[in-house]
Structure 1
Amino acid sequence: MANIHEIARRAGVSVSTVSRVLNQHPYVSDEKRAAVQRAIDELDYTPNRNAVDLIRGRTRNIGVIIPYNNNPAFDRMLSGVLNRSVEEDYTVTVLPTRYDPGKEIEYLTMLKNKLLDGMIITSRANDWPSIIPFTGYGHIVACEYTEFEEIGCAYIDRYAATLEVFRFLKNNGHADVAFTTARGDASISTRLTMQAYRDVFGEIPPGRCIEGCTTMVDGIEAACQIVEGKERPTAVYANGDEVAAGIHQYVLSAGLRIPDDIVIVGQENQPIGQVLQLTTVDHQLFRVGEEAFGLVTREPRGKVRIPYRIIYRSSSG
């Protein structure tokens, strides 16, 4: 395989000139640049990407830690990242963890090994003190709020959004409300939801927080617990429109009416929620991903809050 010394001889230039051309250095004459390019084409030379990246000091590759794929919320954030990466000619490496702390640290080590310029964490398994040391090797941006100055974040005020939903339900006569979550209180999102519930309704009664919900099937199973319980709540706040759709399906199959017998509120304004006319909280996760990309490539310690919006539809009466 040809090397830059052979290219230099064929083009009649110095090795340093070839290096500058390969690294897109601006201070090379058009004549010499053309000669080098001809030599590259004639010798069918392909530069070593890793070597070029080391010389440049950057890879134009951003890692995105994502717990699961095929999850509407995380996929939406990832779509925002990918949208900006195409516009700005970056490569994105998707790094699924299934909330394995060891796998997450393994991925963060890619920053130390100079395989990535930065990392976006959509959701994490490790605590921040375990993650912060890796900011010495590359930029790290979170898709949740963090007060640590070393970590930038594009985030939503999940507590405020949930508080508004619970207050809306209470003001409309609902004193018994259930809600679903994905991970239980291991998740900061769940803890904020629980806090908002307590601030509006008081302590959470047994059976009113249903964990492990991410899909429509999970929603059906959650609805089974809700509907078949001794005392049925009059409203449910689901942690996604797909989960809400599963609840919707089961409730109708049980002979109940929506919203007369039970009100269903979802999240993220997904197509299935639009079809079923579900009231939903749109956290604008696509924009969260876009802003996270902007931070990791330009302002890694910035803090950007993304506004939410509640879309009221017929499911809420």
Structure 2
Amino acid sequence: MTNIHDIARISGYSVSTVSRVLNHRKYVSDAVRAKVQAVIDGLDYAPSEVARDLSRGKTMKIGVVLPIFVHPYYTALMQSITEAAFAQGYQVTLLPSNYQPKLEKQFLEQFRRRSFDGLIFTSHESPLADLAKYQEFGPVVVCEDPGAVDIAAAFTDRKDSYRQAFEWIRARGYQHVSLMLPREPKLSATSRTMVEAYTAVFGTPPDPTRNWVGSMTNEDGKAAGAFFAKLQPDFVFSNGDDIAAGVLEYYVEHGLQPPAMMGQENETAGRLMGISTIDHHLDAVGQAALALATGAKHGRVEITSQFIARG
């Protein structure tokens, strides 16, 4: 297999000169560059990207751990990270985890072996402290408030917007409010924050038997619609506008009067339905996460989410 030493031997120039030509560096005359390039072309030589990565100390790749692909939160966050990465010449490697700690550990080990320059966890099952240990090998970023754990983070402050949302709901006299949660509160920071905000506003925790747990897709919303049709809440606070649309779709298909609803993520579905929502500004979160993963920023970046009242 042809290598840089063969090009140097055939062209009659040093390995360092050939390297400058291959990497489009300065300090090589046009005449010399043309002669070396002719040898390169004649040998049909293509430089090894792995070798280039080793020489420059970077892979120009960012790993992004995604538990699922279909939830609008992860879709929007992934799009933002990818756009920011491409603009800076980085490639993005998607790492689906399905909330499996074993897979998350594998991704961390790949990062330790320098497969990526940075690793972003959009969500995770493993303890934060376990993720933080790998920071000695480079930037590890989470997309949540890490609290007392010392780890880079880009996230939205949801507390105020959730409290505003529940105050808006209470002020309109709704008494039988059901929550749609992505996962059980003990596993999900988002679910915990929703429950804590509800408790602060209404004075008592929400009845867990009235909540729907496992809201990730529009189809989950339709399944929840059947649950709510029997329960008959007067208000449903969903964790996504498109998910809320699934609830509405079930009610419409069965000729039922739907409850009042609120969504999240400020999606097209929510605007068409005319329901209130919360914009977590995931575009800004994704950009900040990428900056942390590439080392352009350090520490924590907190974005303020926005309650949008409609109807």
> TM-score w.r.t. structure 2 length?
0.92
Q: Aligned-pair distance for 1:19?
A: 2.9
Residues 1-317 of structure 1: matches in 2 within 5 Å? Answer: 1-23=1-23, 25-147=25-147, 150-185=150-185, 186-201=187-202, 202-229=204-231, 232-257=232-257, 262-314=259-311
CA distance, structure 1, for counterparts of residue 25 and residue 189 of structure 2? 46
- Is the contact between residue 235 and residue 261 of structure 2 (CA under 8 Å) also seen in structure 1? yes
Long gaps (5+) in structure 1? none
**Partner AA of 2:216 in structure 1:** T
CA distance, structure 2, for counterparts of residue 136 and residue 148 of structure 1? 18
Q: Aligned-pair distance for 1:147?
A: 3.8
SS in 2 for 1:156: strand
- Is the contact between residue 110 and residue 116 of structure 2 (CA under 8 Å) also seen in structure 1? yes
- Is the contact between residue 236 and residue 260 of structure 2 (CA under 8 Å) also seen in structure 1? yes
Q: Aligned-pair distance for 1:240?
A: 0.8
SS in 2 for 1:267: coil
Q: Aligned-pair distance for 1:203?
A: 2.0
1:209/1:146 Cα in 2 relative to 1: closer, same or farther (>3 Å)? same
Q: Aligned-pair distance for 1:211?
A: 0.2
**Partner AA of 1:233 in structure 2:** P
**Partner AA of 2:267 in structure 1:** Q
Aligned length: 309
CA distance, structure 2, for counterparts of residue 159 and residue 242 of structure 1? 22
1:256/1:94 Cα in 2 relative to 1: closer, same or farther (>3 Å)? same
Cα-to-partner distance string for 1:163-197 (whole Å, 9 max, x where unaligned) = 11111101111122111011112111111111111
SS in 1 for 2:65: strand
SS in 1 for 2:209: coil
CA distance, structure 2, for counterparts of residue 26 and residue 110 of structure 1? 35
Q: Aligned-pair distance for 1:10?
A: 3.0
Tell me the percent identity: 36
CA distance, structure 2, for counterparts of residue 221 and residue 61 of structure 1? 39
- Is the contact between residue 182 and residue 214 of structure 2 (CA under 8 Å) also seen in structure 1? yes
Q: Aligned-pair distance for 1:257?
A: 4.1
Long gaps (5+) in structure 2? none
Q: Aligned-pair distance for 1:123?
A: 0.3
1:137/1:256 Cα in 2 relative to 1: closer, same or farther (>3 Å)? same
CA distance, structure 1, for counterparts of residue 137 and residue 99 of structure 2? 22
CA distance, structure 2, for counterparts of residue 29 and residue 269 of structure 1? 57
CA distance, structure 2, for counterparts of residue 150 and residue 30 of structure 1? 52
- Is the contact between residue 218 and residue 245 of structure 2 (CA under 8 Å) also seen in structure 1? yes
> TM-score w.r.t. structure 1 length?
0.90
- Is the contact between residue 150 and residue 301 of structure 1 (CA under 8 Å) also seen in structure 2? no
CA distance, structure 1, for counterparts of residue 190 and residue 250 of structure 2? 26
SS in 2 for 1:115: coil
**Partner AA of 2:195 in structure 1:** M
Q: Aligned-pair distance for 1:206?
A: 4.1
- Is the contact between residue 139 and residue 295 of structure 2 (CA under 8 Å) also seen in structure 1? no
RMSD across aligned positions (CA)? 2.0
CA distance, structure 2, for counterparts of residue 2 and residue 31 of structure 1? 23
**Partner AA of 1:277 in structure 2:** G
